[in-house]
Structure 1
Amino acid sequence: MSNIWQGRLDGEELLHHRIFQRVKEERNYDNIATDDFVLHGFAVDEGVRRNKGRQGAKDAPDVIRKNMSNFPVILPDFSMLDFGNITCDDGNLENTQNSLAKNVSKVLLKGGKSLVLGGGHEVTYAHYLGIKTAFPEQKIGIINLDAHFDNRQPEKGVGASSGTGFWQIAQEGPINSLHIGIQRNSNTLKLFDTAHQHGMKYILADELFFENLPSIYQRIDELLDTVDYAYLTICMDVFNASVAPGVSAAAYNGIFADHTFMHFYRHILKNKKLVAMDVAEVNPSFDIQDRTARLAACLVNEWLMI
């Protein structure tokens, strides 16, 4: 993996550092220190296959790493440990999700911040399960930036998929989630009804405009003020196809990473309860000039600068 973390070398002094100079490839979870960013790649798209989507997201983690490498280090004490990729070569998605969950739990119990690069959005259930394993008695809030609710009930004979994560989470108890960027033309009435039945809050993509920022802030805070820990998951198909063409389900009317988005996005990242984040559904097979991977890398980098 060492050949992935490469970039422009301006010098070895701290003021010159870029991310690739501060990443340490690691295998021992005992070496995690408080506030370290700890990275796992979820090189899996078995859930996308089961959900009848365009496969290829399993190849994304290393491409996103490559696009992260050259960003400058802003915080002097920045530290990132990279624990490599988790794969699903045998088609057993459930075991793979459990493997990631165990690793995430170890990260959080050591005081690290969990960062996962997907992979399909089946990463959501795995990442959440890891947080819940680490903090079983705590209230966990989830913010999902996505065009879809991903609350589909698993099909018999198919099992969990990239579209069932929030249904699975809701089966384990009350769910505390806010879904931002939901598209009316991407969710059936059944999926909206499921969201209402389980108390899944949401903000439609049509509501994401500058004049509505006070309301957006309020709804984010209403969730985060009532939980103990927060988890942010980003499905890249929430974005417009012109800036995120490399996804399983491209959206012609998706949102943009414009000033309005960056305002409420950074508002989420600044919350001290945020302990975990992932990006999902980058599909290099359909990407153009690494646009989607680059955008995903930029979104991750925003957290590294807070």
Structure 2
Amino acid sequence: MNEIWQGRYDGDSPLYHRLFQKVIIAEDYQAIAPNDFVLHGFAVDEGVRRNKGRIGAKDAPDIIRKNMSNFPVVTPNFRLLDFGNIYCEDGNLEQSQANLAGKVSLALSSKAKSIVLGGGHEVTFAHYSGIRKAFPNQKIGVINIDAHFDNREPENHLSSSGTGFYQIAEEGEIHSLHIGIQRNSNTLKLFDDAHRLGMKYILSEGLFFENLPKIYEAINTLSEEVDILYLTICMDVFNAGIAPGVSAVAYNGIFADTPFLLFFKHILKNEKLLAMDVAEVNPKYDIANRTARLAASLVNEWFMI
């Protein structure tokens, strides 16, 4: 793992520190302290395969780590513990999801903040399950930045990268806000199910500067309804020009422009935010690590708050 966390060395003073100098390769969950960032990789794309997508996302976590390594550390008392990857080598996605959920629960029970690098977007149900395991009596709100609702009904009772929010809703009342939804990426059935399940959403065409007050209001309303916030980002929400390496390319996707960064940082500043993941980076189709670099940058924005 240490060979992955490499970067430019300018010195040992805190003024020079970069992430690779501060990351702790960890195995013992007893070493976690409150407010630590705890990182897991979900090196799995069995759910993408089941969802008939382009496989390859299982190779993303380590590549995202490499692209995180050189970012500067800008906050005092920063600690990042990396507990390695969860794999799915036998096709048993449900067991891999349960494995991640158990590890996330351990981290959150120690009052840390959870970060997961996917992998396919089947990571959503796994990450959510870990949060729920740690906080069984709390209301969990999910912000999903994604072109898709991911609320498909499982086929033959098998989960996939597209079933996460259906599974969450099956377990009780859902509290979710989906930002960046594309009309041409979701059938009428998926829109209908989103309305039936109470999934709130903002279409991608609504993500412009003048609409920021309404976006903030939607985020704040969700936050006020829940005890904990979890942010999940599917990289296929972004335009193919800046995120070509995904399972489902969006040629009319959104950009990481000023309006996006303003509402994104508004989410990151919320004190209820305890968990975040990025999903669907597919290195097999990436160009010059554009998608992996963007995913790494989004995670790093949380470190800088």
Q: Secondary structure at the match of 2:210?
A: helix
Where does 1:49-128 land on structure 2 (aligned, <5 Å)?
49-128=49-128
Number of equivalenced pairs:
305
TM-score for both structures, normalised by structure 2:
1.00
Superposition pairs of residues 218-257 of structure 1, within 5 angstroms? 218-257=217-256
Could you give the per-residue CA deviations for residues 24-51 of structure 1, whole angstroms, max 9, x where no partner exists? Answer: 0000000000000000000000000000
Aligned counterparts of 1:246 and 1:225: Cα–Cα separation in 2:
35
2:140 corresponds to 1:150: no
- Alignment of 1:37 onto 2:55: no
Partner of 1:181: 180
Distance 1:100 1:135 in 2: 15
> Cα RMSD between the aligned structures?
0.5
2:134 maps to 134
Residues 195-274 of structure 1: matches in 2 within 5 Å?
Answer: 195-274=194-273
Deviation at 1:163, TM superposition (A): 0.2
3-state secondary structure, aligned to 1:7: coil
Alpha-carbon shift at residue 156 of structure 1 (Å):
1.6
Secondary structure of 1:221's partner? helix
Q: State the partner residue of 1:171.
A: 170
Distance 1:156 1:168 in 2: 13
Encode CA deviations 1:115-162: one digit per residue, 9 max, x unaligned.
0000000000000000000000000000000000000001127x1000
User: Residues 155-200 of structure 1, C-alpha deviation per residue, up to 9 Å, x if partnerless?
Assistant: 127x100000000000000000000000000000000011001100
Give the whole-Å Cα distance in 2 for the aligned partners of 1:7 and 1:156: 46
Q: Percent identity?
A: 71
Q: Deviations over 1:62-110 (max 9, x none)?
A: 0000000000001021100000000000000000000000000000000
**Matches of 2:49 and 2:273, distance apart in 1:** 30
Please give the secondary structure, in 2, of the residue aligned with 1:216.
helix
Q: Which residue in the other structure is 2:190 paired with?
A: 191
> SS state of the match for residue 160, structure 1?
coil
Q: Distance in 2 between matches of 1:20 and 1:35?
A: 19
CA distance in 1 between counterparts of 2:74 and 2:124 reads 28
Equivalent-residue separation in structure 2 for 1:275 and 1:211 (angstroms):
29
CA deviations on 1:216-270 (whole Å, 9 max, x unpaired) are 0001100011110000000000000000000000000000000000000000000
Partner Cα separation in structure 1 for residue 193 and residue 169 of structure 2? 10
Q: How far apart are the structure 1 equivalents of 2:26 and 2:58? A: 21
CA distance in 1, matches of 2:97, 2:155: 18
In 2, Cα distance between the equivalents of 1:20 and 1:76?
16
1:10 matches 2:10: yes
Question: Which position in structure 1 is the counterpart of 2:280?
Answer: 281
Flag as ranges the 4+ runs of structure 1 deviating above 2 A.
Answer: none
Q: Distance in 1 between matches of 2:123 and 2:47?
A: 9
SS in 2 for 1:63: helix
Distance in 1 of aligned mates of 2:220 and 2:167: 25
Q: Does residue 298 of structure 2 align to residue 294 of structure 1?
A: no
Structure 2 CA distance, aligned partners of 1:225 and 1:20? 36
Question: Secondary structure of 2:226's match?
Answer: coil
Aligned-partner Cα distance in 2 for 1:46–1:226: 33
TM-score, normalised by the number of residues in structure 1: 0.99
- Measured in 2, the distance between the counterparts of 1:181 and 1:212 equals 13
User: Partner of 2:161 in structure 1?
Assistant: 162
State the AA in 1 paired with 2:150.
Answer: D
SS of 1:115 mapped into structure 2: strand
